Amino acid sequence: MQAETIRVFIALAPPDDAKEELERELLPAYDAYPRMRWNRIEDWHITLAFLGEVPAAAVPLLKPPLAGLAAARRPLQLGLRGGGHFDERVLWSGIDGDLEGLHLLATEVRALVRESGVPFQGRPLNPHLTLARSRRTDSSSAVEAAARLAGFTGRRWPTERLHLVGSNFGRGPGPIHYRDIEAWSFDGTG
C-alpha cells in the first residue's frame, strides 16, 4: 500500500486589494490573449519554498516551527511591480519592496523545512506571482503580455500571514487550485 502524499509549498499572499489592482492592469490582456490559461486571482502567491509531493504524515511536522517563525517575524513591506516571462510561456509579475527581508524569510523557512526532515526542491528564490501560462504552440502571448506590465507599479502592502499550502486537492484534470492547510500571522518585531 502506497503512503498518501500531498503537494505542498510555503508562501506569502498579497492582500486582495493589491491583487485587484494588478488584475485591473491585466484586464486588457485577458481579452487580448484569450488562449492563455490565466491563474485564479485567489491563487496568486509568492512561493518561499516548494516542497513538491511529500508524505501527508510529514505536513504536521512543519506546523509548529512555521507557526513559531511567523510569530517571531514582523511583516515585510512588499509590492507588485512590472512583469516578465519564463521560457516565453509563463507570465509573471515581479515583487518590489523589502527584497532583502524576503530572501531572509525564505532562507529561514527552508532551514526549518530541512530541520523538520522534509525534503524539497531547493531552487533559488526568484520572487514573483505566476499569472498565466501560454500553450506550447504559442510563444508570443506571454512575452507580449509581460511587455504590457513593464510600467506597472502597485502600492506597497504588509505581508499578513505565512501560508502552508496544498495544491490540487482531488487531482482531477483541469486547472491547478490551492488551499491553505494552515496560515500564521506575522506578529513579531524582529
pLDDT digit string (tens) for 78-87? 999 999 999 8
Provide the pLDDT confidence category of residue 188 given band limits of 50, 70 and 90. confident
For residue 171, pLDDT over 90 is answered with: no
The rounded distance, in Å, linking the Cα atoms of 40 and 190 is 33
Q: What is the pLDDT of residue 190?
A: 57
Provide the pLDDT confidence category of residue 174 given band limits of 50, 70 and 90. low
Q: What is the pTM of this model?
A: 0.90
Residue type, 28: P
Picking from 39-48, 86-95, 105-114, 176-185, which range would have the lowest pLDDT averaged per residue? 176-185
For residue 93, pLDDT over 70 is answered with: yes
Q: At a CB cut-off of 8 Å and minimum separation 6, what does 173 contact? A: none
CB 15 within 8 A of CB 46: no
Q: What is the pLDDT of residues 120-150, one digit of tens each?
A: 767 889 999 999 998 877 778 899 999 999 9
For residue 154, pLDDT over 60 is answered with: yes
Provide the pLDDT confidence category of residue 102 given band limits of 50, 70 and 90. very high
94-131 in b/e form (b: 16+ CB < 10 A) is bbbbbeebbeebbebbbebbeebebebeeeebebbbbb
What is the DSSP secondary structure assignment for residue 42, as one 8-state letter?
Answer: G
Picking from 50-54, 72-76, 90-94, which range would have the lowest pLDDT averaged per residue? 50-54
Instruction: Indicate the average pLDDT of the chain.
Output: 90
Enumerate the domain spans of the chain: 5-185
The proportion of the chain whose per-residue pLDDT surpasses 70, expressed as a percent, equals: 92
Provide the pLDDT confidence category of residue 172 given band limits of 50, 70 and 90. very low
Which CATH number is 5-185 given? 3.90.1140.10
Instruction: Sort strands 46-55 and 90-97 into parallel, antiparallel or unpaired.
Output: unpaired
The span from the first CA to the last CA of the chain, in angstroms, equals 45
21: three-class secondary structure by DSSP: helix
